[in-house]
Amino acid sequence: MAVMQGARMNDAEILSAWHADGFVMLPGYLSAADLAPAVAELGAMFPSAAGFHDRTDPRSSRYLADEFDGIDLFPFASVEVSLLAVHDRLARLAELLLSDNNIRISSAEAWAKYTGAADYDQNLHRDYLGHTVLVPTTDSDWQQVEMFVYLCDVPEELGPPHLVSRAHAADLPVIPNWYPRADGADPEGGYVSATGRPDLYAAEQSGAGPAGTVIAFTPATVHRGTALTEPRGARFSMQMSYRAASAEWGQRRGWADHSHDPGWYQFVSRANPRQLRLFGFPPPGHPFWTAATVSAMRLRYPDTDWVAWHQGNQFTSE
């Protein structure tokens, strides 16, 4: 399917691509203004390209052992990056793709990759093993959506993900989950195909795009990370997962486990009610909000107007 400019696709076109392919690529979906506050604070989280490649940033050694070593988990050291994870455009896109206005964010990660730091070239695979305790389903009532969000331009030389349309992968069994190009051994007891699938690699589409690109896909979508080849290159991106509130089996992260991190308190002090609802905060007007709980929440989160949540009227339209 031809990739269209994300800012120009209407909802019907986005849904058409989503249903046909199991993913939709939206180049430049977030504007430079949307990204600017988060991008300005990336230095609080990651070395710059020069800082890494010249080894002038003492954090550089962190990225040299494994491709996943560049991942930071929500809440982030930058509150602006945390807020970007629940940007209104991303939440509304998730609502559209999930056909549900009652959604939750089940994970948020920020990822730095550097040319030569690790091997980022992956086998084609699906993410469902880390995103649900069940199995993928095509039922529209129980979908989950993942999103790649580019914080910088990601040309082919900076390792964009490649994705395979469900038109080429719909008949794959739930196991194996990883599909190498060529025949080989299966080190994971049936989860890695011993039979190579060059046909899937021939069908993959590149997700290369400018800063602000959003690629939305399902945990059942066949895809892979690719190698960074640009000399002294660096790639900064985010990956979020959203689900319908009713799909409680799609719990990738437990937010209470992170709710005493300093970054969590900074985020809550800046987030609006709609954003907090994505993490499971009861909506304004919910029976949870009593004089006693409001008083206690004032102690834990003194920078938020919990009285307004108790009254509920102010936010019922959000």
pLDDT digits (tens, 9 = 90+) for 72-85: 999 999 999 999 99
Residues 39-50: what's their mean pLDDT? 98
pLDDT category at 5 given cuts 50, 70, 90 is low
**Cis peptide bond N-terminal to 176, omega within 30:** yes
First to last CA, the chain: 34
- The reported pTM is 0.93
Which residues lie closer than 8 Å to 115 by C-beta, 6 or more apart?
A: 53, 228, 229, 230, 231, 232, 233, 234
pLDDT category at 318 given cuts 50, 70, 90 is very low
Backbone angles phi, psi at 134, to 5 degrees: -105, -135
pLDDT of 136 higher than 50: yes
In tens, the pLDDT along 149-165 reads: 999 999 999 999 999 99
Q: For position 50, what pLDDT does the model report?
A: 98
- What count of other Cβ atoms lies within 10 Å of the Cβ of residue 279? 21
In tens, the pLDDT along 182-233 reads: 999 888 789 999 999 999 999 999 999 999 999 999 999 999 999 999 999 9
In tens, the pLDDT along 29-39 reads: 999 999 999 99
Average pLDDT along the chain: 93
Percent of the chain beyond pLDDT 70? Answer: 96
Distance CA 92, CA 132 (A): 22
Distance CA 309, CA 268 (A): 14
Q: For position 7, what pLDDT does the model report?
A: 57
pLDDT category at 245 given cuts 50, 70, 90 is very high
